[in-house]
Amino acid sequence: MSDRKIVYVSKGLPKNKLYNGQEFRSGIWKEQTDELHVHAHQIAEDDVANHAYHGGPDRVVCLYPFEHYAHWEKELDLPLEKSAFGENVTAENMREDQVCIGDVYQFGEAILQVTQGRYPCATINKRNNNNQLLKHIIATGYTGYFFRVLQEGTIKSDSPIIQLSAHPLQVSVASIHHLYFHETAPDPKALARMLEVEELALPWRNKLLEKQQKL
């Protein structure tokens, strides 16, 4: 697909913010920049606040599909700022149903591999001052997703996106989200196939193993 395209790139360090009168600290507030300097474990001048649940080598770069912005603004009648979901890369034609775990892409100089869909949390509500957004994200699966870094390098706002390889099992980010959140009796074969993807990040592997054990 030749029309994959970066719309903008963003980075930011954790900030203290207020929501409903309570202070909290998060790295979800990002600001647009001309380029990202991507290292093996972190983007320069970018970080998360809670390292127990965010960040790490399997979640270095977060991407959110640009197409979802129009959906949310219409669905929720909610004007959104750029990087409203705390993503580093906002891109077209890279939706969750178009991208599979283990796929490898080159963004400028950096080579990245898809590791997991984003597990949505309530910080997204706080970031956008809307207490309905999280449940809608879970309903739609419009979560965004993460990459590990196979080759360090700079991603510019106008860098091309080139797919270098497609994972042979073709397990999309969207399919894992749907099975986990929306299938009360998941297909054991589909679940086993997802667990065959060695490139799947450990937090999501553990979630799927829990599902499998309950079957």
What is the pTM for the complete model shown?
0.94
Q: Look at the chain and report how many structural domains it folds into.
A: 1
pLDDT value, residue 52 = 63
50-54, 113-117, 120-124, 181-185: segment of lowest average pLDDT: 50-54
Q: What is the CATH number of the domain that holds 78?
A: 2.40.33.20
**Number of Cβ within a 10 Å radius of residue 160:** 12
Strand partners, 63: 89, 145
**Number of Cβ within a 10 Å radius of residue 142:** 23
pLDDT value, residue 126 = 86
213: tokens are: 């054990």
- pLDDT tens profile 63-87: 999 999 999 999 888 889 999 999 9
Which runs of consecutive H residues, i.e. helices, occur in 37-122? 67-75
Distance CA 19, CA 50 (A): 17
- pLDDT tens profile 47-65: 877 766 667 899 999 999 9
Q: What domain range includes position 98?
A: 5-214
